[in-house]
Amino acid sequence: MDLYDSPGQSRFRAGLRTWLAERLPTGPGTPPGRLDPARLREWAKPLDQAGYAGLTWPVEHGGRGLHPVYQGIFAEEWAAAGAPELPTVIGLHMVGPALIRYGRPEQRQRHLAAIRSGDQIFAQGFSEPAAGSDLAAVQTRAEPVPGGFVVNGEKLWSSYAPLADYCLLLARSDPDLPKHRGLSCLLVDLRGPGVQVRPLRQINGEADFGSINFSGVRVGEDCLVGERGGGWPVALTTLAHERGSFAITLVARLSVQLDRLVATAGATGRAGDPIVRQQLAQLHVERQALRFTGYRALSGGPPNGDPGPESAMLKLQWSHTHQRLTALALELLGPEAVLDGEDAFWSGYWQGQRLRSRGNTLEGGTSEILRGLIAERVAGLPRSR
């Protein structure tokens, strides 16, 4: 594996770095300011115009057809610049690839360009009150009627739902079939009649996700992705991309977080503390292991293919390392850790990160589920059930 950028990758990295530097008031090493969520949409259009949206999508679908290594470079530069997380990520990294693989030509026409430009923000409507880890247990009904479906039910924890225009919905269309075969995926307009989105406030006070209620919502046949009853493979494709693309992004962000933690140790006068030094060194070792596992997954994977089960290892290890990193940050702050807002160190940046990190071992598959997947698909153990 060659760890150096090729000339083309170097040019790409340098171009993106300049592009970001022209747009961001902050520089590397500065904790990111929180942008007004409504303003985040404004980032999507210029990003698309500059050719940075849909990097790995095939050219015939409006992407650049680049190898996933470029997505990794993008993630590293984005994180290093302290750029904000974009609300277009579910569309770009999950719904887009699913539509490219399973969508009809009219669906691709209707959504792909709008996903890239940020005109359509997508949420993922999979989890329900009684269907999280056991996703195939979803109860939301998509009852087939002439010309389409009528949807009734509730989805929970949908990231970006309060901002989103559409959701990719996993619903039960055929309750009499075995549970994995009775599911269908639909593209649902969240602004339409019968849909109610409620923001869910998290422990850190923010509302990045929400619940979506569907009450007698009519969805046309033209919004069915893949076959009726063929929703499960579509869902699996989006989940593989969620872990794959996000794992690379999260590892890049973790690397920057660790630099900030080292800066925090210096600023709080704890950099000479032998116990703190041990903990920082351990986190550095884990960062390097994550980085190189990420590089191996990127360089070994098929160009533009679905991410493999290694992405589950990255996501699992990242979430635990990140939780320890944010816990150490609060330890470094000592009694000041209880402060919040303007009075707190870096305006409460670490407090927000620590609270948000609690969800890391749940989102995109809990640690127990990921260990089960790794046991079967990486270590080759027999299926548990």
Ligand X SMILES: Cc1cc2nc3c(=O)[nH]c(=O)nc-3n(C[C@H](O)[C@H](O)[C@H](O)COP(=O)(O)OP(=O)(O)OC[C@H]3O[C@@H](n4cnc5c(N)ncnc54)[C@H](O)[C@@H]3O)c2cc1C
* Catalytic machinery residues: 242
CB of 205 or CB of 269, closer to ligand X: 205
Question: Which listed residue (88, 120, 158, 279) binds ligand X by CB under 6 A?
Answer: 158
CA distances from 187 to 16, 48, 199, 286, 338 (A): 32, 22, 20, 39, 43
Indicate which single residue of 6, 18, 49, 133 sits in contact with ligand X (rule: CB under 6 A). 133
Concatenated DSSP letters of 333-373: HGGGGG--GGGSGGGGHHHHHHHHHGGGGTTTS-HHHHHHH
Q: Considering the complex, what minimum distance in angstroms separates the CB of residue 258 from ligand X?
A: 21
Give me the least distance between CB of 88 and ligand X, in Å please: 14
Supply the DSSP symbol for 128: B
- The stretch among 33-41, 96-104, 125-133, 251-259 that binds ligand X (CB under 6 A) is 125-133
Q: How far is the CB of 232 from ligand X (least distance, A)?
A: 14
Which one-letter amino acid corresponds to residue 47? L
User: Angle CA(205)–CA(207)–CA(208) in degrees, nearest 5?
Assistant: 125
Of the pair 71, 211, the CB lying nearest ligand X is at 211
Q: Which residues contact 45 (CB under 8 A, 6 or more apart)?
A: 117, 118
Decide whether 211 or 321 has the Cβ nearer to ligand X.
211
CB-wise, 200 or 262, nearer to ligand X?
200
Using CB under 6 A as the binding criterion, the count of chain residues that bind ligand X stands at: 17
Q: Which is nearer to ligand X, 13 or 371 (CB)?
A: 371
Both tokens of 57, joined, read 């999508």
Residue nearest to ligand X (CB): 132
Is residue 357 within the footprint of ligand X (CB under 6 A)?
no
The conformation of residue 385, written as its DSSP 8-state character, comes to: -
Determine which residue in the list 337, 362, 373, 374 makes contact with ligand X, applying CB under 6 A: 362
Which x/- pattern, by CB under 6 A, does the window 84-123 give for ligand X?
A: ----------------------------------------
Considering only residues 143, 206, 363, 376, which one is a binding residue for ligand X as defined by CB under 6 A?
363
Q: Assess contact for 171 and 186: CB atoms under 8 A.
A: yes
Give the orientation angle of helix 231-267 with respect to helix 68-80, to 10 degrees: 30
Q: Is 366 in the site for ligand X (CB under 6 A)?
A: yes
Interface stretch with ligand X, choices 31-39, 126-134, 176-184, 214-222 (CB under 6 A): 126-134
Q: How far is the CB of 329 from ligand X (least distance, A)?
A: 19
Closest CA to 168 of 229, 119, 110, 95: 95
HEC string of 196-214 equals EEEEECCCCCCCCEEEEEE
- Going by C-alpha positions, the residue among 36, 42, 30, 24 that lies closest to residue 83 is 24
Q: Which one of residues 117, 124, 249, 279 is an interface residue with ligand X (CB under 6 A)? A: 124
- Choices 268-276, 291-299, 314-322, 356-364 (CB under 6 A): range interacting with ligand X: 356-364
Q: CA distances (Å), 209 to each of 33, 251, 315, 359, in order?
A: 20, 22, 20, 12
Helices (H), the chain: 7-23, 37-49, 68-80, 89-90, 96-102, 105-117, 231-267, 274-300, 310-333, 349-357, 367-377
Shortest spacing between CB 368 and ligand X, in angstroms: 3
Binding track over 192-221 against ligand X, x by CB under 6 A: -----------------x------------
Strand-strand pairing, 183-189 and 224-225: antiparallel
Q: Residue 207 Cβ, how far from ligand X at the closest point, in Å?
A: 11
Of 132, 144, 233, 308, the one binding ligand X (CB under 6 A) is 132
Residue 369 binds ligand X (CB under 6 A): yes
Interface with ligand X, residue 368, by CB under 6 A: yes
Tokens of 96: 């887009």
Which region, judged by CB under 6 A, interacts with ligand X, from 142-150, 184-192, 254-262, 368-376?
368-376
In 147-208 the beta strands, taken as DSSP E runs, fall at 148-159, 166-172, 183-189, 195-200
Q: Write out the residues near ligand X by the rule CB under 6 A.
A: 124, 126-127, 132-133, 157-159, 209, 359, 362-363, 365-366, 368-369, 372
